[in-house]
Amino acid sequence: MSVWLDDLSRELTDGGELQRLVDAGVLGVTSNPTIFATALSKGDRYTEQVKELIAAGADTEEAVFQITTEDVRRAADILKPVYDRTNGLDGRVSLEVDPRQARDTAATEESARKLWQAVSRENLYIKIPATVEGLPAITTALSEGISVNVTLIFSLDRYRAVMQAFLTGLEQAKQNGHDISKIESVASFFVSRVDTEIDKRLDEIGSEEA
């Protein structure tokens, strides 16, 4: 069973913490803008880099982009031996497109390209939400040789649509001359969100039976 860590930040990539976790059995890492926002707002691990980026003229969005892609690149390098050992099955790092673009197909496609090119590691997954607008972006990303982690799947019907987007993307990737054996994809059901909502409703009922 693959063990993934859902909390990538400089705290892990600095000082060998992530390497120790990999040695202990963690086979992949995922992240999202919320995780990085929390990491940036707490402690001082990013302070010097933020100062350097601001001094270089970077605005807030560019600074965040540079910081997140650098951390993901470092994590991908740490996990590369796992990726090689498992022939690409494990040893991957996920990085999410801008969630504000979840209803904008073209913007999601461009965000996926930009992140893929910036990190430039074959053991990277680009996380794309399974919104109606995200489905064609999934196909486009795969067709361009970008490995995808599809998020925000809440129903079997949407999963079927994701599978169709995936298969179409692979077909187009092959037509475009990509080695499809190097293209991977993960479909992530957000069971935790359902659990959280159920727990809240049970707490509201407040009975022993609940």
Q: What is the pLDDT of residue 16?
A: 65
3-state per-residue secondary structure call for 95-137: EECCHHHCCCHHHHHHHHHHHHHHHCCCCEEEEEECCCCHHHH
Q: State which amino acid sits at residue 22.
A: V
Average pLDDT of adjacent 10-residue blocks, the chain of 210 residues: 48 64 81 73 74 85 86 91 91 92 96 96 96 97 97 92 97 97 88 82 88
Q: State which amino acid sits at residue 102.
A: A
* Whole-structure pTM value: 0.83
Q: Is 127 a catalytic residue?
A: yes
Annotated catalytic residue, options 42, 51, 127, 174: 127
Q: What is the dihedral of CA 180, 170, 87, 68, to 10 degrees?
A: 110
Domain residue ranges in the chain: 1-96, 126-210
Distance CA 62, CA 60 (A): 6
Question: Of 115, 145, 89, 117, which Cα lies nearest the Cα of 32?
Answer: 115
Distance CA 47, CA 51 (A): 6
Question: Of 132, 151, 143, which Cα lies nearest the Cα of 167?
Answer: 143
Q: What is the pLDDT of residue 1?
A: 37
Q: What is the pLDDT of residue 11?
A: 54
Q: Tell the burial category of 71 from Cβ atoms under 10 Å away from its Cβ (0-12, 13-18, 19+).
A: buried
Cα–Cα separations (whole angstroms), residue 30 to 6, 79, 126: 5, 12, 10
